């Protein structure tokens, strides 16, 4: 059995990456950030669309302890 979820460390990391990569607003927002930490900090400060500042529309917290933030940093750097 694979340790990965669709090429990502786990479901939570995949879900966060999926939303950032496929939602135009989140994509543009993330492309202006220096890192994933910067992204989550600015997202919470903006309070975009109520709960979107706290979690993905699928209910995964942007600051979930299981996230592979190094992989998300790399993804944001490539946007």
Helix, coil or strand: residue 52 = helix
Give 23's contacts (C-beta < 8 A, 6+ positions apart).
none
Give residue-wise pLDDT tens across range 18-76: 999 999 999 999 999 999 999 999 888 776 555 667 889 999 999 999 999 999 999 99
Q: What is the pLDDT of residue 3?
A: 72
Task: List the chain domain ranges.
Answer: 11-77
pLDDT value of residue 47:
64
- Rounded to an integer, what distance in angstroms lies between the CA atom of residue 47 and that of residue 21? 20
Assess whether pLDDT exceeds 80 at residue 1. Answer: no
């Amino acid at each position: 059995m694979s340790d990965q979820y669709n090429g990502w460390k786990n479901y939570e990391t995949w879900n966060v990456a999926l939303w950032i990569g496929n939602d135009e607003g989140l994509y543009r927002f993330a492309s202006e950030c220096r890192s994933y930490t910067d992204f989550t900090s600015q997202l919470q400060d903006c309070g975009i669309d109520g709960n979107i500042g706290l979690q993905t529309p699928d209910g995964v917290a942007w600051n979930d302890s299981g996230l592979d933030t190094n992989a998300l940093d790399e993804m944001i750097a490539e946007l």
